[in-house]
């Protein structure tokens, strides 16, 4: 019999290990706890989401920062993701799941994806700086480098075309609030400190001020919580799912989708292709 790609012999009966949840006819177990008896009514949704990803029960301060991020990213009004959800619901009112999915699928490099891009940029710089500092300490016995040291180099590199990095478009009221919450809970780590340093050196490196906005600070805060960098966009989508559900509820109460569609349809005009 041919062995599977792992090289291990097949098991009979097959075994599919998971550290998340299982169930049988009478019980549901989640994270090693009885769902009904130990978790429901005792664990908040934000706490549970963190627990599911990290496989450890988070501290109260971590939950507070995480839930502040979720609130910060939940809704920004009539963004393309919200419009996509409403128009999909207009087209298929029998498919709430399709409308919700349409909005989530629009989370990319311009909307929602900025959180992941900023977190990944900061994490790369922090990781590289840690490696450099460790090598220097081994060679020369130097002390630990400051969190904001060397921010100018990464900012200059990030200014090159095609580089993904914090590129805010305006000041963000969420930024000082989230920084303050992280500080209060002892969770203002290297990513948030570097984020602040980037804001300080932007003017001198680029010749203009680029205020760092809320999507970026959310990425920095999530990175400081130790969450997987490749999942940061997933947390932004988790937050936005609540906002999209709100838009769909409002669309049911006070429909706007048809107005949006008719506005485009009745103002469309034919333009001959170039060269005709």
Tokens 């559900």 identify what position?
A: 245
pLDDT at 10 (0 to 100): 74
The answer to whether residue 146 scores a pLDDT higher than 50 is no
| SS3 call for 251 | helix
Confidence of residue 23 (pLDDT cuts 50, 70, 90): very high
pLDDT at 130 (0 to 100): 78
Q: How confident is the model over 208-253, as pLDDT tens digits? A: 555 678 888 999 999 999 999 999 999 999 999 999 999 999 999 9
Residues 201, 202, 203, 207, CA torsion sign: positive
CA 237/CA 234 separation, integer angstroms: 5
pLDDT at 111 (0 to 100): 82
| pLDDT, average across residues 91-119 | 92
pLDDT at 197 (0 to 100): 87
Query: pTM of this prediction?
Result: 0.82
Check if the beta carbon of residue 154 is closer than 8 Å to that of residue 148: no
The answer to whether residue 67 scores a pLDDT higher than 60 is yes
CA 220/CA 196 separation, integer angstroms: 10
**What does the domain layout of the chain look like in residue ranges?**
113-231
**For the ranges 124-128, 166-170, 196-200, the one whose mean pLDDT is highest:** 124-128
| SS3 call for 28 | strand
């Amino acid at each position: 019999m041919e062995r599977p790609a792992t090289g291990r012999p097949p098991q009979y009966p097959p075994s599919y290990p998971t550290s998340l949840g299982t169930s049988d006819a009478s019980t549901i177990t989640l994270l090693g706890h009885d769902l009904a008896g130990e978790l429901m009514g005792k664990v908040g949704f934000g706490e549970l989401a963190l627990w599911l990803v990290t496989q450890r029960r988070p501290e109260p301060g971590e939950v507070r920062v995480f839930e502040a991020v979720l609130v910060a990213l939940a809704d920004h009004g009539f963004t393309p993701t919200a419009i996509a959800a409403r128009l999909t619901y207009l087209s298929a009112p029998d498919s709430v799941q399709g409308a919700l999915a349409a909005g989530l699928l629009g989370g990319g490099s311009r909307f929602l994806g900025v959180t992941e891009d900023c977190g990944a940029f900061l994490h790369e710089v922090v990781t590289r700086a840690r490696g450099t500092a460790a090598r220097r300490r081994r060679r020369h016995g130097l002390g630990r480098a400051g969190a904001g040291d060397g921010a100018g180099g990464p900012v200059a590199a990030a200014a090159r075309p095609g580089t993904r990095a914090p590129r805010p478009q305006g000041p963000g009221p969420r930024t000082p609030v989230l920084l303050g919450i992280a500080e209060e809970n002892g969770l203002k780590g290297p990513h948030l400190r570097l984020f602040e340093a980037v804001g300080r050196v932007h003017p001198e490196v680029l010749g203009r001020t680029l205020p760092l906005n809320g999507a970026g600070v959310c990425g920095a805060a999530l990175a400081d919580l130790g969450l997987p960098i490749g999942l940061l966009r997933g947390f932004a989508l988790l937050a936005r799912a609540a906002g999209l559900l709100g838009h769909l509820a409002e669309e049911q109460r006070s429909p706007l989708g048809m107005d949006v569609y008719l506005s485009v349809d009745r103002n469309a005009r034919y333009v001959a292709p170039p060269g005709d």
